[in-house]
Every structure is written in C-alpha cells, then in structure tokens.
Amino acid sequence: MAPPMMKLGLFLQGGGHHIAAWRDAGVASDAPQSLDHYLDVVRMAEQAKFDLVFNADTQATFGPDDINVWRRTTAALRLEPLTLLGALAAVTKRIGLVSTATTTYNEPYHVARFFASLDQLSGGRAGWNLVTSLAPAEAFNFSRDEHVAHADRYERAAEFAQVVTGLWDSWEDDAIVADRNSGVYVDTSRLHHLNHKGKFF
Ligand SMILES: Cc1cc2nc3c(=O)[nH]c(=O)nc-3n(C[C@H](O)[C@H](O)[C@H](O)COP(=O)(O)O)c2cc1C
C-alpha cells in the first residue's frame, strides 16, 4: 500500500503572522493589499507542490483589542477573499483556492454563487471553510450588538450548508449542451428547483 501523502496548505497572511513580520526589510510594506505580493506567494506555493492556499476571513477588521497593539500590526488589513482568489486563479493551474465564508452574515445564495463562480473560473479548485463567525465586532457591521447564541449559529450553519450544496446540485453537471444546430443552450430537464423548506431557510 502506498504511504499516506501529507497535504500541505499555506495560510495567506499579507504581511506575515507575527506582529512585527512586516518590519522585516524583505517584506513589501504594502504586502497585505498588493496583488503582486499574493501572485508571488501563490506561484511559489504551487511550485512547491502545496495542495492549497487558505484565506481566513472575518466580516470586520480583526486584531487585538488594545489599540496600541492594533496600530502595530497588519492583521486588520484583509482583502475580500473571493475577489483575491479569483485573481490568483488566473495565474495558477493546480493549487486549491480555499476561503472562509460565514453562515451567520451571509445568505446561502450568496455563498453558493461566490464559490460556484470561483470553482468555474479555477477549473474546480475552490474550497469553502465554513465558519459561524469568530470576531464579536462582525455583529456591529450587520446592525447587531452581538452574535446570536453559539448553538443557534451552528443550527443555522447546518441548514445553510444543506441549502448551499442543494443549490450547487440544482444544475446537473451536463446541463449545458450548447447545441448550435438546434439552438438549445441549456437542457432544462437537467435543472432542478431546490424547493428547500426548513427552520431558517
Ligand atoms: C484552521 C482554522 C481556521 C479558522 N478560520 C477562521 C476564519 O477564517 N474566520 C473565523 O471567523 N473563524 C475561523 N476559525 C475559528 C472557527 O470559526 C471557530 O470559532 C473555532 O474553531 C472555535 O470553535 P467554536 O465556534 O465552537 O467556538 C478557524 C478555525 C480553525 C481551526
């Protein structure tokens, strides 16, 4: 039997994880917002045979509570991950492109569409890290004072995942026939309404 293969993922973190990493002379000062920086990183990761790059995310600036610490770190700077991963898809061929998306501050249709689009553009390399939101500040950006209770977030998350996967499966893989002679582009017999009815959705 072949030995098990280790899977390697690289955590994309613009200026580095250490609070002072950005001060290293070898790190571009605009690394967290620089397309060139991420292109270099993803190309190196692919060449080094990593299986995936992973983009963590929160729906709020993220960092230590102490403002004197916060102002010394690049942690708060995050690009919108699906936009970034779409750009990285264009310069890579094999590496997986994985991002976080929260089930607490999205609707399933948003997430299904974002990741289906990334999956199409990347030739099947999209991956979803489902979270229910970690940072309390995310609530403020969605007109709430705090997250809903932990157990309720996970109950919604379970149904959310069902809806997302159901939406993905509502188009069969061979639904697009693109038959120039007949003029039929989509075989509608291979499309299915999800008709989901649950507690949250
Ligand atoms: C590998 C890994 C990556 C994570 N990435 C994120 C992330 O990008 N965004 C986020 O809000 N939480 C992230 N989390 C935290 C989880 O959402 C979660 O809060 C944590 O696993 C604790 O579980 P709990 O929700 O039961 O407290 C990550 C956790 C792990 C283990």
The DSSP output letter for 79 is: -
* Nearest atom, ligand 1, residue 132 CA: 17
Q: What is the number of the ligand 1 atom nearest to the C-alpha of 154?
A: 25
Q: With bands split at pLDDT 50, 70 and 90, how would you rate the model's confidence at 176? A: very high
Q: How far is the CA of 135 from the centre of ligand 1 (A)?
A: 10
Kindly report, residue by residue over 42-97, the tens digit of the pLDDT.
Answer: 999 999 999 999 999 999 987 777 888 888 888 888 899 999 999 999 999 999 99
Sign for the CA dihedral angle at 151, 155, 156, 157 comes to positive
- Please state, in angstroms and rounded to a whole number, the distance separating the CA atoms of residues 162 and 115: 15
The kind and range of the H/E element at 9 are strand 9-11
Domain spans, the chain: 9-190
Q: Let me know: does 126 contact 97? Beta carbons within 8 Å.
A: yes
The DSSP annotation for 81-145 comes to: HHHHHHHHHTT-SS-EEEEEEESSSS-HHHHHHHHHHHHHHTTS-EEEEEE----GGGGGGGT-S
Six-digit token pair at 58?
């929160």
Instruction: Summarize pLDDT for 24-45 with one digit per residue, the tens.
Output: 999 999 999 999 999 999 999 9
Cα–Cα distance, 42 to 34 (Å, whole number) = 13
Pocket of ligand 1 (CB under 6 A): 56-58, 100, 129, 131-134
> Given ligand 1 and candidates 54, 99, 131, which is best to mutate, with the most ligand atoms within 8 Å of its CB?
131
Interval 149-154 mean pLDDT? 98
Q: What integer pLDDT is reported at residue 57 of this predicted model?
A: 94
**Whole-prediction pTM value?**
0.94
Pick the CATH number of 9-190 from 2.130.10.10, 3.20.20.70, 1.20.120.530, 3.20.20.30: 3.20.20.30
Closest residue by Cα to atom 8, ligand 1, is: 56
